[in-house]
Amino acid sequence: MLLTLVIVYLLITIGIGLLAARRVKNAADFAIAGRHLPLYMIITTTFATWFGSETVLGIPAKFIEGGLGNVVEDPFGAGFCLILVGLFFAGKLYRMTLLTISDYYRERYGRTVEVVCSLIIMLSYLGWVSAQVTALGLVFNLLSGDAISIPMGMTIGVVSILAYTLFGGMWSVAVTDFIQMIILVVGLAIIAVFAGNMAGGADKVIEFASNRELFRFLPEPKFHDVVFFIAAGITMMFGSIPQQDVFQRVMSANNIKAATRGPIIGGICYILFAFVPMFLVASALIIMPTETAALLKEDPQKVLPTLVMAKMPFIMQVLFFGALLSALKSTASATLLAPSVTFTENIWRQFRPTMTDKEHLRTMRITTLVFSACVLAYAIRMQGTSIYELVSGAYQVPLVGAFVPLVAGLYWKRATTQGAIFAIVLGLGTWLLFLATPVGAVFPAQLAGLLAALAGMLVGSLAPQAIGNSHASHHKLVGAE
């Protein structure tokens, strides 16, 4: 019965997404909803994109293992990323009428930097989308009582998302995100109240978490602990800023107020609501201590689904899996669309500069299909990897490779193409060196890479320019003026 309701829910969201797809007339409609989304939809689609499998399953597992200090990367770093985007980046980028974040690199530094940063950004999505696909596979496997294998569940999930994303692009994603966020917030809030009552009241849960020192946030005052804490915090806080999914939401806004305020409000809502899954997992330790202790050793990501399936009535199960599927589908649809648009606009267009808008739109759809197949294969290959680790690892690449050129380009007039190239090479090179050698256990690789990228930008821009400055205009958007 529960599986049947889930399938009905999937079919309803597909239908809504396909209805929204009727508004897609050109490439700008597909990529950034023709810049027509109002503030409330920017808030919901931003929140829904961030609130994915790692928030519902990954964050609670990390929280119960090491407290708030163990989740500094997400939700705190991730939420503050959106706030920083709204405060310092959205306004400047929105005025430029770009299709992708990589268009900015082309305008500021030329085609070489554009292509390299596009590849960096696209690569980073593999881990994030794979985390959502992995969780979809787990959900279908659990609901079917192992009748549906995890790889088959992954396939069903990807097909259900593709059914509307392929045709409606950002329009379908934004409309379904709006509905899915309502289901997500209402569903998890009701379950949290129910779980709190089962545990003896919310005050008992908070007292229990406090006694276990789960609210401890700051690390021990030791160099090793402090630098790794800082590195974890900035991974998503800075690494998510030069990302196409964030940029798409900014550029989809119908005015600059929506573009700047939407991410700020979405980020605040995300940080606050991410405490709900943490509350639920703490409740689970009170409600079913023996089972939870065993699951924490086996697979902490199964604690919440097990609590709901074993201890809650059917209506709560419907609410939980409706909320979980909403979280997974909203994040997966956004992260399938973003790299596909980037590839079409910033890689493929290099070979087909005279593409018509219809050809551009068709290529975006084909790329979305191909990227989805690649993600599915990667997710099946990476089975068993922690959802939280899949997501956090994905953001280290843009952090060390794309963040510094973006910030310097927007806020430092003396930044040059040579400086950007130096920043990318030194940032990625240092990061890889620290990952491949024992020194990475002493000093975090992503922080070393970020510092090296900053040094590369300063030295490369201030030194004699062996590489000349390069600029190239972005392509005119049809229907997004």
pLDDT tens digits for 48-100?
888 887 788 888 888 988 899 999 998 999 999 999 999 999 999 999 989 99
Q: What is the pLDDT of residue 64?
A: 87
On average, the pLDDT of the chain sits at 90
Q: What is the mean pLDDT of residues 430-447?
A: 95
pLDDT at residue 129 above 60?
yes
> Does the pLDDT value for residue 237 go beyond 80?
yes
Euclidean distance between CA atoms 343 and 321, whole angstroms: 33
Give domain status of residue 443, yes or no.
no
Q: What's the sign of the alpha-carbon dihedral 400, 406, 409, 411?
A: negative
Phi, psi for residue 253 in degrees, rounded to 5: -65, 150
Residue 479 predicted with pLDDT over 80: no
Give domain status of residue 439, yes or no: no
Give the per-residue pLDDT at 391. 65
pLDDT of residue 476: 54
Helix, strand or coil, per DSSP, at residue 37 = strand
Whether 223 maps to a domain, the answer reads yes
Which stretch of 124-133, 156-165, 211-220, 240-249 has the lowest confidence by average pLDDT? 124-133
CA distance 58 to 43: 23
Could you give the percent of the chain with pLDDT greater than 90? 62
Mean pLDDT of 431-436: 95
Give the separation between CA 209 and CA 196, rounded to whole angstroms: 13
Is the dihedral angle over the CA atoms 246, 252, 257, 258 positive or is it negative? negative
pLDDT at 477: 52
For the ranges 204-218, 246-260, 329-343, 386-400, the lowest mean pLDDT is seen at 386-400
Residue 120 maps to a domain: yes
Q: Are 148 and 140 in contact (CB under 8 A)?
A: yes
In a domain? residue 381: yes
Is 371 part of any domain?
yes
Query: For the ranges 118-132, 241-255, 395-409, which has the lowest average pLDDT?
Result: 118-132
Tell me how many domains the chain contains: 1
Residue 175's domain spans which residues? 2-386
How much is the pLDDT for 226? 96
At 51, the amino acid letter reads: F
98's tokens = 């770009």
CATH number of the domain enclosing 71: 1.20.1730.10
pLDDT of 478 higher than 50: no
Q: Whose CA is closest to 114, among 478, 481, 471, 477? A: 471
Instruction: Compute and round to an integer the Cα radius of gyration of the chain.
Output: 22
Res. 278: pLDDT tops 80: yes
Give the orientation angle of helix 275-287 with respect to helix 303-311, to 10 degrees: 60
- Is 169 part of any domain? yes
What is residue 475's predicted lDDT score, i.e. its pLDDT? 56
Tell me if 139 is assigned to some domain.
yes
Considering only residues 134 and 251, tell me which one the structure prediction assigns the higher pLDDT: 251
| Half-sphere exposure at residue 332, Cβ-oriented, CA atoms within 13 angstroms | 33
